[in-house]
Structures are given as structure tokens and as C-alpha cells.
Amino acid sequence: MNKVEERLTTQMRQETEQKLKELDSSYETRINELDSSYQEKVAALGEQIDELNQLLTFVKDNSSDKNDDSNQLYSQINEIKSQLQKLQKSMELLK
């Protein structure tokens, strides 16, 4: 190789490495932003589920003939909570 080719090769290698570093940094930043946003939304949803669960427990304890409906809602809320926990575990694996 002559000196011009070597210089061009070196320059291209350096530019490529720089672009890869920029892409990696951008990717990491975006992943962290998404993770932070996701965690905030999951926490808010978890709080809403807990509040709804408490309300349903109260309704369940204070109703008699509507017991079947509240039991069904209670079961659905517990299922949602279970799915939320699975989703959280999946997101943790992505980190």
C-alpha cells in the first residue's frame, strides 16, 4: 500500500470508530430514557392497581348479593397485577 491508501484507511477507520461510539452513546441514552419512562409508568400503574384493589376489597366486604361481580373484578385485578410483575421482570432482563 502506498502512503495515500494508508492515510485514507486510517482516516476511514477513525471515522468509523467515532460514528460507532456516537451510535452506541445515542443508543444507551435512548434505552435509559425509555427505561426511566417505563419505570415511572409501571410505578403509577402499580399504585392505581393497589388503590383499585383496596376499593374492591372494601366493596367485597360490604356487599352481599353483588359478591360474585366484585370477586370477578378482584380476580381480574390480581391477574393484571401478575401480568405487570411479569412485564417488569421482562424489562429488567432487557437492561
Annotated domain spans of the chain: 3-94
* pLDDT over 70 (residue 20): yes
CA distance 53 to 17: 53
* pLDDT over 70 (residue 63): no
Sorting pLDDT into bands at 50, 70 and 90, what band is 67? Answer: low
**Among 83, 93, 74, CA closest to 45:** 83
* pLDDT over 60 (residue 13): yes
> What is the identity of the amino acid at 90?
S
